[in-house]
Structure 1
Amino acid sequence: MTADDPQSVGFLGLGAMGLPMANRIAKAGFALIAVDISEAQVLLATKLGITASADKNDLDGCEVIIIMVATPAQLMDCASIAGLDEGVTAVVMSTVGPAAVKEFAKVVAQRGVRVVDSPVSGGVVGAESGSLSLFVSGDPETQRVVTPVLETMGQIFECGDEPGMGQAMKIVNQHLATSNLALAAEALGLAKSMGLDGEKVLERVSSGAGSSWMLRDRGPRMLISAENRPVLTHLSILAKDASLVAGVAQEYGYQAPILAAARQRWQSAMERGLGQADDSSIYDVMS
């Protein structure tokens, strides 16, 4: 951190990803105030040594405000918070789609707020280790201002000079992620139906041509019984993303039949009440 870096950073949204991301920023030495409507998440942040609050008004006075919420509607709700004033830079790190970020940027620009679009990929493990992939777009000079903060969380991949272009890149990523994870679950389900040992299957195919990051990362959790499976990323997030990608594809008139099949599985998992379970629990509707 240098004298030219932002001196005050706000972070809105301390969920499974947001909390470790905020922790990385705080540990890098930035003056951070983190906010979440959940008192439980605020308490967890406080235990990590992060200054935290349940009041969005506490973001007032921050030079940079990072937004890590779940849906386009929640993002638009953030457009009216007190801290988004003239000269402030808002960094949208949520996965909400290009249209939502463009609309948000249009609304807050009327108050003199600049927007950098920076959705992330890498899961909770990447958030904790500071190894996320950040798909960044926006005005180059504004990007430069927030780069020191973003670098505490992972590697920056520049995607363009307008908000929404980072989201477009993330849509491609989530098209692959939601489909690959469903396919990994289906493949392990097939292995089970053939009487194969799941652990041996993972050991043998994880380095083969048919492997994927999702198979290697989520596969081991799929093999854990549902009652003992740790929850790292809620299944509802991937289900939401599958629908988001489908909506963007429809908006552009693009047919995505493989995604459509995967989305049906995500919807089935939600209907079975697995929304708050780990996203690897999609295996439970395949096997």
Structure 2
Amino acid sequence: MNKQIAFLGLGLMGAPMTANLARSGYPVKGWNRTPNHPGVRVAEFAGATIVSSIREAVETADIVFSCVGDVPDVEEVILGAGGVAESARPGTLVIDTSTISPDAARNIGEELKKRNLRFLDAPLSGGDIGAKKGTLTIMVGGDIADFEESKPLLEVIGKTIRLCGAVGSGQAVKLCNQVLASLHMVALCEAIALAKGQEIDPNLIIEVCGTGAAGSWALSNLGSKIVASDLQPGFAIKHILKDLRLVQDTLKSGEELPGVELAGNLFKMVKDLDGGMGGELGTQAMIRAYLEG
């Protein structure tokens, strides 16, 4: 419990994870690029110390977590000027929980290794609900000794924690997860649209189908949000579109995933709504492609 923790990125996912670590007794320094983000207050209220620079966050840390956006964001925070690579002590373990490409994770791991820093890629699944409850699924790539060292902390923020292989393997499994998640959303929206067309209460679909072979996390957790017209993001459309782009980027020449293309097109339809602001909505807002498309 005496390990010093830094957490970089106090957004929708990072803030509750930081809060859970702080409430569990770990000394945590938190940093966010946008100082007035609501997540900063969430982390601070739970006991994290908020600092104004990456250097201040990581210079005394034993383990550094990051949770930001796309590949350029991760590279800037970890490898950029004033970032983790320049500021962390030799031997520090860096754990990136963002979703990026497997190749990007491997490149970051190699660069950190040159500076005597250790690295795990540890993308997450479970949305803001899982982040708040500490029930996330965490897919880890890296050295087994580093994984074992990180496990007590990962068990604070997650429930299912699996070492998937070498650095980059966590991201590879996460991309497979996003294929499943995106197509589950297609199935959920089409089932609800069909129910409405048949004058069946969509709540009945959630209650009955959720107990059988068609049950899924999306049906259980997001179906009721669709019925209630609650489209606020637990995971935003702009982020799933980024992830599906990463999936497409990993495909070899001639490989196709038509389901991913379909899901991407539906998410893009919603992203373009509201003057291009639809991407800020949660993934359950795909239902708008059926109602307004």
Return the TM-score normalized by structure 1: 0.91
Residue 136 of structure 2 aligns with which residue?
132
C-alpha displacement of 1:208: 2.5
C-alpha displacement of 1:244: 1.8
User: Aligned runs of 1:1-287 on 2, under 5 Å?
Assistant: 1=1, 7-39=3-35, 40=37, 41-59=39-57, 60-78=59-77, 79-80=79-80, 81=83, 82-154=86-158, 155-160=160-165, 162-225=166-229, 229-248=231-250, 250-251=251-252, 253-272=254-273, 273-287=277-291
Q: 1:99 and 1:251 mapped to 2: Cα distance?
A: 13
Return the TM-score normalized by structure 2: 0.89
Kept in 1, the 8 Å contact 2:21–2:157? The answer is yes
The percentage of counterpart residues that share the same residue type is 27
Counterpart AA for 1:236: K
Structure 1 residue ranges without an equivalent (≥5): none
User: What are the Cα deviations for residues 88-147 of structure 1, in whole angstroms up to 9, with x where unaligned?
Assistant: 111011111201101111222221111012111111111111111111121111222222
RMSD (Å), alpha carbons: 1.7
User: What are the Cα deviations for residues 42-101 of structure 1, in whole angstroms up to 9, with x where unaligned?
Assistant: 233223332113422222221111111111111111213143342111101111120110
Kept in 2, the 8 Å contact 1:42–1:54? The answer is no
Q: 1:55 and 1:192 mapped to 2: Cα distance?
A: 51
Q: 1:25 and 1:235 mapped to 2: Cα distance?
A: 27
Kept in 2, the 8 Å contact 1:84–1:108? The answer is no
Moved more, 106-115 or 207-216: 207-216
Q: 1:182 and 1:262 mapped to 2: Cα distance?
A: 6
Q: 1:209 and 1:143 mapped to 2: Cα distance?
A: 34
Q: 2:76 and 2:254 mapped to 1: Cα distance?
A: 29
Counterpart AA for 1:63: D
Counterpart AA for 1:67: S
Kept in 2, the 8 Å contact 1:84–1:111? The answer is no
Moved more, 195-204 or 108-117: 195-204
What is the DSSP-based 3-state SS (H/G/I as helix, E as strand, rest coil) of the residue aligned with 1:210? Answer: coil
C-alpha displacement of 1:179: 1.4
Q: 1:22 and 1:87 mapped to 2: Cα distance?
A: 22
